[in-house]
Amino acid sequence: MGTAPGTRTGSGKRGLVTVAVAVVCAVTVLAAPGTAFAAPAPDPTPGASASPAAPVTNAELDAVRKKLDKLYRAAAVATDEYNAAEEKTQDQSAQIVALARKIVKGQEKLDELKDRAGAAAAAQYRGGGLPPEAHLMLSDDPQDFLEGAGRVRQGQHATKGLLGEMARTQADLKQYAKDADAQWRKLEAGRKAKAAAQQKIEKKIAAAEKLESELEKEAKERLAGLEQQAAQQAQAAWLSSGILDDITGEATAQGRKAVAYATAQIGKPYQWGAEGPASFDCSGLTSQAWASAGRGIPRTSQAQWKQLTRVAVQDMRPGDLIIYFGDASHVGMYVGDGTMVHAPRPGRSVTLAGAGSMPILGVVRPDPGAKAATGTTPPSAPEKKTEKKAGATSDKKAEKKTANGTANGRADENPEKQKNAEKSADKKAERKTQRDSSAGARTSGSGSGEKDSDTGTDTGANAS
């Protein structure tokens, strides 16, 4: 049996609040992180046979290496999909929770407005339903009547305002419910995307591990050597272009912190979907490193490539992120001297590697507006003390250092300081020239002004 339109039952408020609470509870379940992947245990006797197998050739191992690279790259792409879906579900969960809170508060506000409107209607009812003319005739004081009529009009306006606010609140509640339903559907889609990406990751990693498990120990060692050789060749080709000669950028203060965090994780294992503190995937490492420096960046390597400011490779500085492969499926952090730190792939740990050891798609900068920090290589404390002692012992050596910029090769360590010293010496000489010139002008007698001027100038020139 339905309820007549416009009739409000006591269950309406309870129903909306119950729905809001149920939404929050359901979101908690749906948005929970996926189960961590555990690689299937390899066959204890892979490829075992009674007769010894023929040794694997380098060509066969290189083919295995390329196949492994393909599988792990596919797993990396799927990991980016998983991380992106995880990020979206977290955002959608937060939006649903916020909408549920708005629904509860909106319902409370609507109930309050209805109570106020009911009180206003009751007050009007108690005033009677007589027309204004009758009230005027029955009133003992016309002024009281006019004042009362004014209050009635104010009450009517207030009631009208309450009704309008009630209508707007009801419309807001309806929109909140509609938005929550839309976010709920997106959350469901995100959950399915996460599950699909997880299955893809597990499938690719399992295939790669199976392929590796079929190799004998000696072949595995040779395979690792081939991987290292391929990376070294790629790095050598990158360096042979002279690119490192053009890379002179200095890290910013935040960049230093990000590099310090990332390099402190060296040795920790790769784990897809992980962002520390015990393990990382490639973009988990870079995003957490910059978060530790006080700057949030996108979670995935593809989002980092799309959203962060791009810079030329020759302009990169420590802390910048190097994006690899055409699909932006891998990322590392440049640390200087042609080196980057990254979380490579399953079965490997966070490590340093050549910045050009993989195909570079481009470079992005998390802090484009920041300036490089000064004093990146300050002299050590003992060196500073030695320099001061030498200056105090021999004024002659200090003067020679100021004039020539060479005091046992130390002046070259701080050219800015040397330049300032030279400028200071020039200014002192100029002031001395001016003083001597003034003195010459005062003692030159009463000759012609032109001669006095010449005499003063010559005197100043000699003094300098």
Mean pLDDT computed over 22-32: 47
CA distance 182 to 165: 26
Catalytic annotation on 282? yes
| 415-442 vs 395-404: helix crossing angle, rounded to 10 | 100
Q: Taking all residues of the chain, what is their mean pLDDT, rounded to a whole number?
A: 72
**Which class would CATH give 58-214?**
mainly alpha
CA distance 85 to 193: 6
Question: What is the separation of C-alpha 243 from the centre of its chain, rounded to a whole number of angstroms?
Answer: 27
Catalytic annotation on 157? no
Residue with the bigger pLDDT between 172 and 429: it is 172
Identify the bridge partners of residue 270 per DSSP, sorted by sequence position.
280
Q: What is the DSSP string of 326-380?
A: TTT-EEEEEEETTEEEE--STT-B-EEEETTSS-EEEEEES-TTPPPPS-SSPPP
pLDDT at 378 over 60: no
Q: Select the highest-mean-pLDDT range: 196-210, 310-324, 450-464.
A: 310-324
pLDDT at 420: 54
CA distance 112 to 108: 6
Name the token pair of 13.
């408020």
Residue with the bigger pLDDT between 201 and 22: it is 201
pLDDT band at residue 32 under the 50/70/90 scheme: very low
CA distance 350 to 277: 12
Domain with CATH 1.10.287 in the chain: 58-214
Query: Residue 131, CB half-sphere, CA atoms under 13 Å: how many?
Result: 2
pLDDT band at residue 53 under the 50/70/90 scheme: low
**Which class would CATH give 220-365?**
alpha beta
Ramachandran angles phi, psi of 269, nearest 5°: -75, 155
Task: For the chain, give percent helix, strand, coil, nearest 5.
Answer: 65, 5, 30
The side-by-side arrangement of strands in the sheet containing 360-365 is 309-311, 360-365, 321-324, 330-336, 339-342, 351-354
Which tens digits make up the pLDDT trace of 279-311?
999 999 999 999 999 999 999 999 999 999 999
Closest CA to 90 of 244, 196, 194, 219: 194
CA distance 24 to 14: 15
Name the token pair of 450.
């032109």
pLDDT at 88: 81
Cis peptide preceding 359, ω within 30 of 0: no
Widest CA span in the chain: 125
Ordered alpha helix ranges (H), 214-252:
217-240, 243-246
Q: Are 34 and 273 in contact (CB under 8 A)?
A: yes
Per DSSP bridges, beta strands 351-354 and 321-324 are unpaired
347: left (phi over 0), alpha (psi -120 to 50) or beta: left
pTM above 0.85, yes or no: no
pLDDT at 74: 84
pLDDT at 347 over 80: yes
SS3 313: helix
pLDDT at 424: 54
CA distance 184 to 92: 8
CA distance 278 to 268: 6
Closest CA to 76 of 362, 341, 363, 300: 300
pLDDT at 294: 95
Mean pLDDT computed over 420-449: 48
pLDDT at 435 over 60: no
**Exactly one of 25, 135, 157, 342 is catalytic; which is it?**
342
Name the token pair of 316.
């990169």
pLDDT at 312 over 70: yes
Domain with CATH 3.90.1720.10 in the chain: 220-365
pLDDT band at residue 376 under the 50/70/90 scheme: very low
Mean pLDDT computed over 351-373: 91
pLDDT band at residue 362 under the 50/70/90 scheme: very high
Name the token pair of 5.
């339109």
Question: What is the separation of C-alpha 316 from the centre of its chain, rounded to a whole number of angstroms?
Answer: 17
pLDDT band at residue 170 under the 50/70/90 scheme: confident
Mean pLDDT computed over 218-229: 84
Mean pLDDT computed over 144-169: 64
Distances (CA, A) of 20 to 113, 168, 416: 21, 20, 66
Looking at the chain, the whole-number percentage of residues with pLDDT higher than 70 is: 60
Cis peptide preceding 277, ω within 30 of 0: yes
Name the token pair of 442.
């005062």
pLDDT at 149: 53
What's at 428, amino acid-wise?
Answer: K
Three-point CA angle 151, 154, 160, nearest 5°: 145
